[in-house]
């Protein structure tokens, strides 16, 4: 290459290289910063449901329904027993009347059992509504607490408690253990992440 041309090309090459370095530096400088660390908290949901006072009105209502159900069931059972005793007293003196009473008792038992089944369904619906309402209240206050204290994620701490066996279950002990292990989603959480107490206090301090 001509010495003059070689001398001219060197500054141009240096200029291009410098431009590439500057562009690369600017690109690195404008790269988005890394996302901030995620703040994670945990909650013992079983303890929350056990200790919050939001379920008190529900428990009062459900206990009243259960008492009413048991009272009516006992009344119907006593009426059936009374009729059966009456039939036994007529077995020898008036067997036809005794049989008529027993037929009536059979119908009374069918009606009682059908009524009891319907009332149990009613109780089940009410208890389901209670749990739905309690969960909604817990979740609403948990979201408010997390936003107030700056928690990004709140997890249910299901690592608490030991694996338990039920000798009366129709499942092998091995399967019980395996099922409980696989159903857990958390193995460990530091106590510093636990906000269960704060959540309970927040819910119980709500004005009715």
Cβ pair 194, 43 in contact under 8 A? yes
Same domain? For 86 and 20 the reply is: no
106 and 166 within one domain: yes
Give the predicted TM-score (pTM) of the model.
0.67
DSSP secondary structure letter of residue 191:
G
- Same domain membership, residue 146 and residue 88: yes
Model confidence at 42, pLDDT cuts 50, 70, 90, reads very high
- Helical segments of 90-193, H only: 95-149, 173-183
Quick one: 28 and 49 in the same domain?
no
**pLDDT tens, position by position, 99-115:** 999 999 999 999 999 99
Domain check: are 60 and 39 in the same one? yes
Query: Averaged over 107-130, what is the pLDDT?
Result: 93
Confidence check: pLDDT of 86 > 50 = yes
Do 60 and 12 lie in one domain? The reply is: no
Question: Do 145 and 189 have their domain in common?
Answer: yes
- CA 188-194-195 angle, to 5 degrees, is 155
Q: Residue 203 corresponds to which tokens in the numbers above? A: 């819910």
Q: Give Cα 141 distance to the centre of its chain.
A: 15
Higher-pLDDT residue of 14, 192: 192
Considering the domain architecture, whether residues 14 and 93 belong to the same structural domain is answered as: no
Least confident of 5-19, 46-60, 79-93: 5-19
Number of Cβ within a 10 Å radius of residue 134: 17
What is the number of H-type helices and E-type strands within the chain? 6, 2
**If you compute the radius of gyration of the chain from its CA atoms, what whole number of angstroms results?**
37
Domain count, the chain: 2
Same domain, yes or no, for 170 and 149? yes
How big is the chain, counted in residues?
Answer: 208
Same domain, 1 and 47: no
Q: How confident is the model at residue 78 (pLDDT cuts 50, 70, 90)?
A: very high
Instruction: Residue 95: give the domain boundaries.
Output: 34-204
Say whether both 52 and 139 belong to one domain.
yes
C-alpha distances out from residue 58 to 4, 46, 52, 139, 178, Å: 97, 17, 12, 18, 35
Is there a contact between 165 and 54 (Cβ–Cβ < 8 Å)? no
* Residue 151 sits in the same domain as residue 98: yes
């Amino acid at each position: 290459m001509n010495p003059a041309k070689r001398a001219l090309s060197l500054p141009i090459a240096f200029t291009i290289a410098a431009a590439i370095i500057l562009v690369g530096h600017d690109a690195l400088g404008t790269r988005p910063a890394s996302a901030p660390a995620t703040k994670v908290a945990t909650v013992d949901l079983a303890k929350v449901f056990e200790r919050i006072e939001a379920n008190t009105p529900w428990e009062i209502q459900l206990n009243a329904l259960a008492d009413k159900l048991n009272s009516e069931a006992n009344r119907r059972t006593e009426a059936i027993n009374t009729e059966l005793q009456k039939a036994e007293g007529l077995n020898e003196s008036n067997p036809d009347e005794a049989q008529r009473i027993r037929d009536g008792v059979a119908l009374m038992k069918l009606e009682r059992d059908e009524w009891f089944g319907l009332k149990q369904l009613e109780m089940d619906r009410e208890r389901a509504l209670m749990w739905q309402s309690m969960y909604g209240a817990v979740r609403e206050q948990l979201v408010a607490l997390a936003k107030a204290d700056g928690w990004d994620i709140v997890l249910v701490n299901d690592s608490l408690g030991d694996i338990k066996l039920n000798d009366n279950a129709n499942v092998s002990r091995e399967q019980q253990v395996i099922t409980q292990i696989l159903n857990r989603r958390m193995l460990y959480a530091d106590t510093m992440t636990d906000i269960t107490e704060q959540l309970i206090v927040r819910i119980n301090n709500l004005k009715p």
